[in-house]
Amino acid sequence: MKAITEEVAFGWWIRGIHRWSSHLMVAAVILHAIRVFFTGAYRAPRELTWASGALVLLVVLGFGFTGYSLLYEQLSYWGATVAGNLTEAVPLVGPTLARLLRGGGGISENTVTRFFVLHIGILPTALFLLLGLHLLLVRLHGVSEFVFRDEAEKRERTFPFFPDHLLTEVGIGVALTFLLTCLACIFPPGLGERADPVHAPAHIKPEWYFYFTFRWLKWTGLSFAVLSLGLAAFLLVAWPWVDRLLSRLSPKRDLSIGIGLVAVLALLGLTLREALG
Amino acid sequence: MTLEAKKIVVALLSVLFLLSLLVVAWIEGGKQRLVPQPPMELTVESEGCYECHKEKTPGIAAQWADSRHARLGVGCYECHQAKEGEVDGWKHEGRWIATVVTPGDCGRCHAAIQAEFEKSHHAKGGQILGSLDNVLGEIVEGPAATNLGCRQCHGSKIEFAKDPSGQIARGNEGKPLFDTATWPNSGIGRINPDGTLGSCGACHSRHRFAVAMSRRPESCGKCHMGPDHPQAEIYEESKHGIAFAVAVDQGLMSLEGEEWIVGRDYNAAPTCATCHMSATRTQPSTHDPGERISWTLRPEVSKHTEDWERKRERMRDVCSACHTPDWIDAHYRQYDAVVELYNEKFAKPGGRIMAALREAGVLTPTPFDEEIEWTWYFLWHHEGRRMRMGASMMGPDYTQWHGAFEVGHRFYEEFIPQARGLGEGKPQALAVLEEVMGSPEHAWKKGLDPKVREQLSDFYRKKYGQEVR
Amino acid sequence: MIPRQARRSLLRWVALGFALLASYGTGAAYAVRFLFPTRRRRERRVFACFTSSLPPGASLKRRAPGGREVLLTNAAGEIRALSNICPHLGCTVHWEEHESRFFCPCHQGVFAPDGIAISGPPAKAGQRLERFPVSVEGEAVFLHLTEEV
């Protein structure tokens, strides 16, 4: 890692782009999910699209976590330690799962190889399959659009893939690579102190997209945090069906919007709380 | 957006991207890659030493492992080896070695440096047996103080303990036992068992030999400090020393590099080594600091050193990395003037009075048994040196309050009254004293000019509203 | 004659293609440099031995960083340093004192004391053992190795 950053030609640039694009990817997926949620685009017939998308979000978070831990610097080492202990706290299968994840009783060089395999083998495969499914479903059901009550009948709004759509995509691509290069130049990825299993640093922090779990963990007990986070993940994936249940219970009011608002505000609050203090 | 507009936007974006990539190339080009050199493997002999000594003496083993020697493949045995039968050698784990590594050992690789060093006063630091200071240390104070005091700077003559038959006493494996009054010792003028002079470790410290350490003023300050030659304190007080302290704090002080040329490899501040030893753009480095010194400030009366004009030229060359010729000229005029003031006003007259007293038979040949001998010693050996050295290195307080002021006080309030007392009934000695005190620079003692007195009262009245008689 | 409109459109395509090619080409070049970092050769001087431990007729072995071995010989005052890697297929040769030769056990390669192959496959290929420059400073013998970094 040190060699890539400091010795190999353009290593810092490649790493910068890799790192910054991971941040952007997480941010983009989260924003996309929020947009879809509040426009109700997950509702029939797009339940499966949502579920696959939610799984994509989890996989992307997995990417972020394993990638960060692979740095094997002080902060990420202790982040992985915390995550390992969280896994251990899962009822019944926890200890076995944690052992499997860490390749032993604690975080070590073995963990690095396992995380590496996750990061470059298992997670990409999962991501491709899920994304494939997601896109297939999108093609199948079409992109959902706002339909306002007073809007005239839908026009046929297709346009040719080449050159129009391709050019848009290329344009976005160039803009993004430009942005990433700028970020890599202005905020090059550093490398913290090497992991030291004996001394925990004074302040450990995960990547920003895990701030909320970190703060949640500080405020609640270990097993409660694990269970609640697991439940939250389950609800996220299964929301279209939960929503259907809710609308049956209260047909007049859209409870989902309210719950979503509370959830987003809660996440935002937890994240900000962690970021600021 | 129309298709045509899109094309333009995308093309512009790619140009921006290309520009950002050029920035990347620029950053990449400026990156310094420090690829560490793996250390050269040790010789078979040193390998054996190291394997065991990294357990037995982990500190020095680790210091060595961190050294340039280690990267080059120079290990324990290369420096510590001894010839069979050598006086301080013994056979340790099957190989002949010696404890003390002398300039002779270092000189096997660093021959030119050893030769420069041997010409220097540093190498002769251990030969102080005949000096006044030695009388003070050995006799007036006591040998124990000399061993841990004087000799840790000047250097001891390393001796061995003797057994009852007069042979060198030997311990385990036939290891010769040192006379502990003479070892451990890291004085710079050490007289070694192999006959060589000096101790490279005095400045370079043992085992790690970091050049950055010897270039720091603290290395010289181990000895060049204190009441009789406070060079370290003077440097600290000077603009040079201030610049150094700040440069170190701000990470601007580069002390590394083989050549370390002032004005090229570093600019933030000079250290002792910069001016007295290290390379300039036109001069090589030297291990004889005397090569650039044009006055000797050591004795009662300062004299120019031999071939002093050449030596001063060399020093001026160092100054010129930062200062203009006019500036350097002016500094040397100020400095010369202080040395001459000390010489002419205090040292030479004082010396004449001391000689006259000796001639009159009122002083015994024993040094330090009369009060005036202490007084005179303080005057030239402590205060007089402080005054001159302060001036040489631009330390204002050492030039004046710790220097000239104390010289004056010592001269007028102790030396002259004591001489007058001793000279009672010795008209020839008193005549010399009166002649000295009759000269214009001492005339103020007979009463300050009324005009000067009036100026004084005026000054205090105006500045502090104070009445001074 | 192509209509003006079409000509302009085509020209824009060309410009766009060129801009894309230039920027992504540069990026790709960087990536290739990243994937195939050019190794620079760096010479370094290391301590070998003192002249006193290598009198005429003597030889000694020194290990260089990275496991290479260097055989130093003093043939009538000329100090030579030879690699012990056989140029044939990379086996390790060793010095045979009684025969005054280097011998490679893999394919019976034989080298003279100056490193030139005299028998076996390396001799047929006209090969020799790699020779390192040597310098003597004072009593110290230094080896000049090249390293890839």
Q: Which domain holds residue B167?
A: 62-209
Query: Tokens at residue A181, please?
Result: 């290069």
Most confident region among A25-34, B184-193, C88-97 by mean pLDDT: B184-193
- Per-residue tokens: A256: 């989902």
pLDDT in tens, B34-74: 666 788 899 999 999 999 999 999 999 999 999 999 999 99
Average pLDDT rounded to a whole number, residues C10-30: 88
Mean per-residue pLDDT for B329-349? Answer: 97
Q: Identify whether B27 is part of a domain.
A: no
Residue B324 pLDDT > 90: yes
Question: In chain B, which residue's Cα lies nearest the Cα of C142?
Answer: B72
Window B:424-443, CB contacts with A under 8 Å:
none
Domain count, chain B: 2
**Residue in chain B lying closest to C137 (CA):** B109
A174 contacts C30? CB cut-off 8 A: no
pLDDT surpasses 80 at C25: yes
A163/B20 Cβ within 8 A:
no
**A104 or B147: which carries more pLDDT confidence?**
B147
Q: Do B38 and C49 touch (CB under 8 A)?
A: no
CB pair distance less than 8 Å for B18 and C23: yes
- Judged by CB atoms closer than 8 Å, whether chains meet at A174 and B27 is answered as no
- Count of pairs with CB atoms under 8 A, one residue in B, one in C: 81
Min distance C41 CA to chain B CA atoms (Å): 12
Calculate mean pLDDT across residues C14-31. 89
> Is the CB of B14 inside 8 Å of chain C's CB atoms?
yes
Residues of A in contact with B3 (CB under 8 A): 163-164, 167
From residue B169, give the alpha-carbon distance in Å to each of A160, B2, B83, B172, B179. Answer: 102, 102, 19, 11, 10
Query: Which pLDDT value is given to residue C34?
Result: 82
Classify A155 as helix, strand or coil. coil
CB distance B391 to B399 below 8 Å: yes
C-alpha pair distances (Å), B115 with each of A99, B109, B288: 67, 12, 9
**Average pLDDT for C34-40:** 73
For residues B351-380, give the mean pLDDT. Answer: 95
Tokens 């790699």 locate to C130
Q: Is the dihedral of CA B351, B355, B358, B362 positive or negative?
A: negative
Nearest of B95, B35, B46, B41 to residue B207 by alpha carbon: B46
Domain termination residue (choose one: B176, B209, B242): B209
Ranges A23-37, B220-234, C82-96, C133-147, most confident: B220-234
Classify residue B290: in a domain, yes or no: no
User: Does the domain formed by C41-148 have CATH 2.102.10.10?
Assistant: yes
- Taken in order of first residue, the domains within chain A and their CATH numbers are 2-145+188-276 (1.20.810.10)
Higher pLDDT residue, B312 or A273?
B312
Q: What is the pLDDT of residues C131-144, one digit of tens each?
A: 999 999 889 999 99
Complex-level ipTM: 0.73
φ/ψ bin of C88: left (φ > 0), alpha (ψ from -120 to 50), beta (otherwise): alpha
167-206 of A, contacting B, C-beta below 8 A: 167-168, 170-171, 174-175, 177-178, 181-182, 184-185
pLDDT at B33 over 90: no
Q: Is it the case that residue B79 has pLDDT exceeding 90?
A: yes
Domain residues of chain C, as ranges? 1-38, 41-148
Structure tokens at B39: 């250390």
- Cα C82 to chain centroid distance, Å, stands at 13
Q: Which of C:36-95 have CB within 8 Å of A?
A: 37-38
- Kindly report the nearest CA distance between residue C46 and chain A, in angstroms: 24
Mean pLDDT score, C68-87: 86
Chains that touch A (3 or more CB pairs under 8 A): B, C
| CA–CA dist A20, A183 (Å, integer) | 7
Q: What is the pLDDT of residue A154?
A: 47
Q: Which of B160, B176, B209 is the last residue of a domain?
A: B209
The answer to whether the CB atoms of A7 and C20 lie below 8 A apart is no
Which residue among A12, A167, A175 sits closest to B6, beta carbon to beta carbon?
A: A167
What is the predicted pLDDT for the residue at A151?
47
Question: What's at C5, amino acid-wise?
Answer: Q
Which pLDDT belongs to residue A157? 53
pLDDT at position A96 is: 85
pLDDT of A144? 62
- Tell me the shortest Cα–Cα distance from B314 to chain C, in angstroms: 28
Q: Which of B16, B18, B33 to mutate to test the interface with A (most CBs of A within 10 A)?
A: B16
CA dihedral B327, B331, B334, B338 (to 10 degrees): 180
Tens digit of pLDDT at every position of chain A (277 positions): 666 666 677 888 888 888 889 999 999 999 988 888 888 788 877 888 888 889 999 999 999 888 888 887 777 788 788 788 778 888 778 888 888 888 777 777 788 888 899 999 999 999 999 999 988 888 887 766 555 555 444 444 556 666 777 888 888 888 888 888 888 888 877 666 666 666 777 677 778 888 888 888 888 877 888 888 889 899 888 888 888 888 888 777 777 888 888 988 988 988 888 888 6
CB atoms within 10 A of CB B469: 5
| A68, two tokens | 């960060």
Look-up of token digits 């975080």: A107
**Model pLDDT for residues A75-112, shown as the tens digit of each residue:** 778 878 878 877 888 877 888 888 888 877 777 778 88
| C33 close contact with A: CB closer than 8 A | yes
The predicted-structure confidence for C108-117, as pLDDT tens digits, reads as follows 889 988 888 8
Contact B3 A170 (CB under 8 A): no
Q: Are residues B202 and B73 in the same domain?
A: yes
pLDDT of residue A2: 66
| ∠ CA B25-B26-B28, rounded to 5° | 60
Cβ contact (<8 Å) for B11 and C30?
A: no
pLDDT, residue A1, reads 65
> For C140, phi and psi rounded to 5 degrees?
-100, 140
Residue of chain B nearest A178, judged by CA positions: B17
User: Residues near B168 by Cβ (< 8 Å), separated by ≥ 6?
Assistant: B87, B160, B161, B162, B176, B177
